[in-house]
A and B are shown apart, each in its own frame.
Chain A
Amino acid sequence: MSNEIKTENTAESCWNSIGVWGTSSMRCPKLAEMTHCRNCPVFIDAGSDLLNREIPPGYMDEWTELLGQKKEELNTNNISIIIFRIGREFLALRSAIFREIINPRSVHQIPHRSNDVLLGLTNVHGELQLCFSLKALTGNEDAEQTDESEAKMLVIQSVGECWVFPVDQVLGVFRCNEGDEQNVPVTVSKASGTFTKKVIIYDQREVGLLDDELLIYTLQRRIS
């Protein structure tokens, strides 16, 4: 084809000489119309001509093997969660509600209001936020104190308000598929004070995914 001849000879790299990547003062007359070389048929043809070469050795074997395998189904129904630890128990919350995770800082008790669940107020970026004990809320109080060097505070943003929860460790952000979830045993989910919505098996551990809406709702009731 005439295009191919043009690409091979005259226009071999016109984009490098008179095109957008060119350094000479001469400019391709078509450039004004095309705006950029990548819109120009000469450049496009040169690009597709690169494919008109022999198949490199091993290429066909590789693709034959690849296409012979069953396609892995991508599960799009996955959600992002952040797994953390309180005592010995691993819990998780949806990543979407997190504002940040901060290093532990002092919590100021509120006279006559602080109790086992409402720990007090803490300073997050100069603003005082309410700090709650997930340990007490989830009925995990008897858990023994563990190494505090990895302790963090979760800052949750929900319904326009901020909620701070100290935890013993944050494992990080994970993705969990719908299929990885298991329903909580009926005996557990019905028990009062349980916020666990689903149980996720992660790294051979059972992680309780907390129902954040229920959690925040309960907290709102507590402080009002």
Chain B
Amino acid sequence: MLLVTFQVNNQHYAINAASVKEIIPMVNIRELPGVPDSVRGVFNYRGSLVPVIDVTRMLSGIPTAELLSSRIILVNYPEDSESIHVLGLLTEHATGTAVRAEETFKASGIDSTDAPWMGEISVEDKAMIQVIKIENLLTDELKSKLFTGSKETA
């Protein structure tokens, strides 16, 4: 499995590359008042507004630093079986990819009902990479807030 890797707090995380649409540098993001902290805002992506989730903030509480290595990973986010949205994930150290075999993945073994996006951990070459399950990234409440009205499919 090809993974797009990033880091939060020096911990390695990854997203399955199959769901990645494009990786773009940090852009000016318009902040939205009244949304949860994990939503950084929206930006104009090729003429349509795409919401950006600050993954660093979601996982560690600290907003993503404005560095050249901080990038927005655009993923095809399946809201439900019918509609797919483009969602931006703001991450730090999004500079590489990794190939990990399926059998290297192990369940973390720790209950993570508060963080349903936490996927399995791949252990190989001393480095542990935890996969983020993007389909569980947004709570139902947040989902309904982010994708109201914009029912376009990617």
Spell out A's residues near B (CB within 8 Å): 1, 48, 50-55, 59-61, 63-64, 67-71
B68 with A55: CB separation less than 8 A: yes
Contacts of B25 in A (CB 8 A): 55, 59-60, 63
Number of A-B residue pairs having CB atoms within 8 Å of each other in the complex: 56
Contacts of A67 in B (CB 8 A): 24, 27, 43-46
B69 with A63: CB separation less than 8 A: no
Closest to B22 in A: A67
Among B44, B45, B67, B96, the residue within 8 A (CB) of A55 is: B67
Known: A60-B28, A63-B26. A71 touches B46 (CB 8 A): yes
Closest to A52 in B: B69
Contacts of B24 in A (CB 8 A): 63, 67
B95 with A64: CB separation less than 8 A: no
A173 → chain B, closest Cβ, in Å? 32
Known: A67-B45, A70-B47. A53 touches B67 (CB 8 A): yes
Q: How far is the CA of A211 from the CA of B109 in the complex (A)?
A: 68
Known: A50-B68, A52-B93, A55-B66. 18 other contacts (CB 8 A): A48-B69, A48-B95, A48-B96, A51-B68, A51-B69, A59-B25, A59-B68, A60-B25, A60-B27, A60-B66, A63-B24, A63-B25, A63-B27, A64-B27, A67-B24, A69-B46, A70-B47, A71-B46
